[in-house]
Structure 1
Amino acid sequence: MKNVFIIGSKGIPANYGGFETFVDELVSRQQNTEIKYHVACLSDNDNETEYHGAHCFNVKVPNIGPAKAVYYDLAALKYCVKYIKDNNIDDAVVYILACRIGPFVGKYVKQLHKLNCKVYVNPDGHEWKRAKWNYFIRKYWKLSEKLMVKHADLLICDSRNIEKYIQEDYKQYSPKTTFIAYGADTSKSILQDDDEKLLNWYKEKGVQAKEYYLVVGRFVPENNYETMIKEFMKSNTKKDFVLITNVEQNKFYETLKNETHFDQDKRIKFVGTVYDQQLLKKIRENAYGYLHGHEVGGTNPSLLEALATTDLNLLLDVGFNKEVGEDGAVYWNKEEGNLANLINRLENINNDQLKELSIKAKQRIDSEYSWDYIVRKYEEVIYG
């Protein structure tokens, strides 16, 4: 039996973001019965539960602001070392998601190596580039990433571009890396076009099927909302731009509104969040096009979901996005007028071109990014 301890996600079942969904899929789609998963869960208690055969251990974390995530990962790592010792577990893998605890990880790696255990790390994306962090936090992230790379036995990168970056920037450590992408749910929505839930949502938001461009994601500067909104406003399309994102108490939203006056363009529609996954999937399916402006990070879950469901995808022309979309999408850059002109041209795209893009996008996701395929790749690495 191979024991695998996963820390760094908020826990399962998934109610949050990318890492949580990944762990949930890895556990619930498990194919190799010789693997036993142990998953850290952020909590206000120290209970232990089972979920799809995985041992879930809660980690009680005090509310200490930004340091909470670092505390959580370290507390979970300490638990893993103790559990492995107490249960005389041999040849386990501790898989750490993200690079939050680099300055502290060395001593735990030594302890785990003495117990004949390996430490794998998912370096995630370029967290140190994110605009939300101040100068000092960015410096910490970069240092932490460096030390995580130094001490890891294996780095599992969910983007070939991230793998290349790790190999180039940290070549002094000769890092051992492998590429396994993030996965996507490729099934269609269970909702029909005439479903009351969908029709009520359309009526409430003032939009119509195939008459809107869509974006889903966090409302942060590095996702290039400013460029997308400004360029959409310059375009001649009569379609709406529907933004599914949380902008409550968001300074960036207020700044952008004052700069662009997008609130005076009736096509720009901030519609809040959609937590019903089947409804969200149907909204994606019925979009005329999907706009994706992420330029920080590895394989982005919202991009995979868009390529799996939306016919026409307009992606920012950066390596992370091109390696996923390939020839199943169209691309734009941040030069003034570039995206607006692309939107104008796409008003007249013929059905054959649209169908070809849609088929290529779906085939790309089915062949390389389906969850069953991703789980199989992980199990090969874990048991290899």
Structure 2
Amino acid sequence: MQLAIVGIRGLPNTYGGFETLAENLVHHLSKDLDITVYCSSKDMESRMDTFDGARLKYIPVTSHGAFGIIYDSIALVRAVLKNDKVLFLGFGGGFVVPFLWRYRSKLILNIGGLDWQRSKWSGFAQKIIRKAEALLMKNCGTLISDNVGIQQYIQEEYGRSSTLIAYGGDQAIAQEILPEHLTIYPFLSSPYAFAVCRIQHDNNINMILDAFVENPLIPLVLVGNFVDSEYGIKTKSDYSAEQNLILLDAIYDRKLLDVLRSNCTLYIHGHSAGGTNPSLAEAMYLGLPVFAFASGYNEHTTNYQALYFRNLTELKELIRAYSSVDLEEMGNSLREVAVKAYRWSTIADQYKQLILD
């Protein structure tokens, strides 16, 4: 069985959720399936021919911004002509799929979250993305949802059923604090809250930062791609003088990232755009107590075992009372959920069954 994976920046993964999904599917399934992953030669620093048993094919177009639609469309056309099944991730191929109607049965779609809801997009861009989503829903033979909330949305909005396959979190591994870590990150010796995310509006960055500025009972360490956007650069400039905030640029060394997050006192999750956010599944697998934005999707992901906030006032109240919460019990409950639902070996088997069906 020849499988193509389309819709990501590329492998090896240093970027985001879909890349992590592709990386783990390749790791677990490349012995059983003949896998090709389409990558952007403009975005990848290295151009490897293979990765973990999968072939890598390159498209000379960036996967970012409006060009992402062109990139995904070219990759999707090439993939569908050369493979038995194509797993398409995201929305970028929406405008080409109506022309691939003969290959509908080959196309497996996972849109992830509702990207058109992200506030980083202009109103016009949101309409384009939602139209692309609708075209994909109509023209792909098999649909996957990674969250009960997304599954319900697909059924209600498009009248189609989708297979629920969650997202893995067991790539996150608890790490011991070593003396060299304390030298670089002295905050590790005391209680701290932690968050890791892309620095964009729909992750409620300002709300989270303001809550800790106004409520300095515990410092917040926030790791994100501050340098990649005007918003990120301005945010870091505006808040860098606050003593209760430690703002760190993106960390792509997974082991180092796990040192920082696995030893935090509590984890803050501000994502508002659904499905299952990778960083939340990872935090749960680490057994971290979580304060999460009440997006609806986050409640499903955590099986209602976390604490939730809808606005600045509610988050400030949670921070104010954090020491009275049984954080250990919450973390253990969330880890139990993650161990049952968010293991990559199980998830890869579910994808395999769907692909071979």
Q: TM-score with structure 2 length normalisation?
A: 0.91
**CA 1:347–1:139 in structure 2 vs 1: closer, same or farther (change >3 Å)?**
same
Q: Please state how far the C-alpha of 1:65 moved relative to its aligned partner.
A: 7.0
Q: Note the residue ranges of structure 1 that are not aligned, 5 or more in a row.
A: 85-91
Residue identity opposite 1:278 in structure 2: K
The two structures, once aligned, show a CA RMSD in angstroms of: 2.4
1:276 counterpart residue number: 253
**Residue number in structure 1 paired with 2:176:** 192
1:345 to 297, 304, 321: 321
Residue 105 of structure 1: how far off its partner (Å)? 1.0
Residue by residue over 1:253-293, the C-alpha shift from the partner in whole angstroms, topping out at 9 and shown as x without a partner, is 566579xx644531022122222211110111111111111
What residue is the counterpart of 1:375 in the other structure? 348
Secondary structure at the counterpart of residue 202 of structure 2? helix
Cα pair 1:153 1:176 within 8 Å, conserved: no
Equivalent of residue 109 in structure 1, options 101, 107, 110: 101
Task: Please report how far the alpha carbon of residue 148 of structure 1 lies from its aligned counterpart in structure 2 after TM superposition.
Answer: 0.5
Which residue, 272, 279, 303 being the options, matches 1:326? Answer: 303
Aligned to 1:77: 76
Instruction: Give the match for residue 244 of structure 1.
Output: 223
Aligned to 1:79, the other structure's residue is in SS state helix
The separation in 1 between residues aligned to 2:66 and 2:320, in whole angstroms, is: 46
The one-letter amino acid of 1:7's match is: V
The answer to whether 1:179 aligns with 2:167 is no
Q: C-alpha displacement at 1:358, in angstroms?
A: 1.6
* Identity across matched positions, percent: 29
Aligned to 1:29: 28
Structure index of larger Rg: 1
- The amino acid across from 1:193 in the alignment is I
Change (3 A) 1:278 1:34: closer
Shift of 1:236: 4.9
* Cα displacement string for residues 335-359 of structure 1 (whole angstroms, at most 9, x for unaligned residues): x52111111111233xxx2222121
| Corresponding letter in the other structure for 1:170 | Y
After superposition, residues 121-160 of structure 1 pair within 5 angstroms as: 121-160=109-148
Structure 1 residues 36-92: Cα deviation after superposition (integer angstroms, max 9, x where no partner)? 2121121159x883333222222222x6973321121121122224425xxxxxxx2
Q: Which residue of 1 aligns with 2:188?
A: 208
Counterpart amino acid of residue 342 in structure 2:
Y
Instruction: Kindly indicate whether the alpha-carbon contact (under 8 Å) linking 2:90 and 2:112 is maintained by their aligned counterparts in 1.
Output: yes
State the alpha-carbon separation in 2 of the partners of residues 141 and 332 from structure 1: 28
Matched length = 354
Q: Structure 1 residue 195: deviation in Å?
A: 4.2
- Alpha carbons 1:182, 1:299 under 8 Å: kept: yes
**Other structure's SS at 1:287 match:** coil
Q: Which runs of 5+ in 2 are unaligned?
A: none
Alpha-carbon distance in 2 for matches of 1:162, 1:121: 13
Mean CA deviation greater in 279-288 or 22-31: 22-31
Q: What is the deviation of 1:177?
A: 1.1
Q: Distance in 2 between matches of 1:146 and 1:290?
A: 35
Give me the TM-score of the superposition, normalised by structure 1. Answer: 0.85
Residues 274-331 of structure 1, C-alpha deviation per residue, up to 9 Å, x if partnerless?
2221111011111111111111131001111111225321111221111111243222
Separation of aligned partners in 2, 1:13 and 1:255:
30
Equivalent residue, structure 1, for 2:19:
20
Aligned letter for 2:90? A
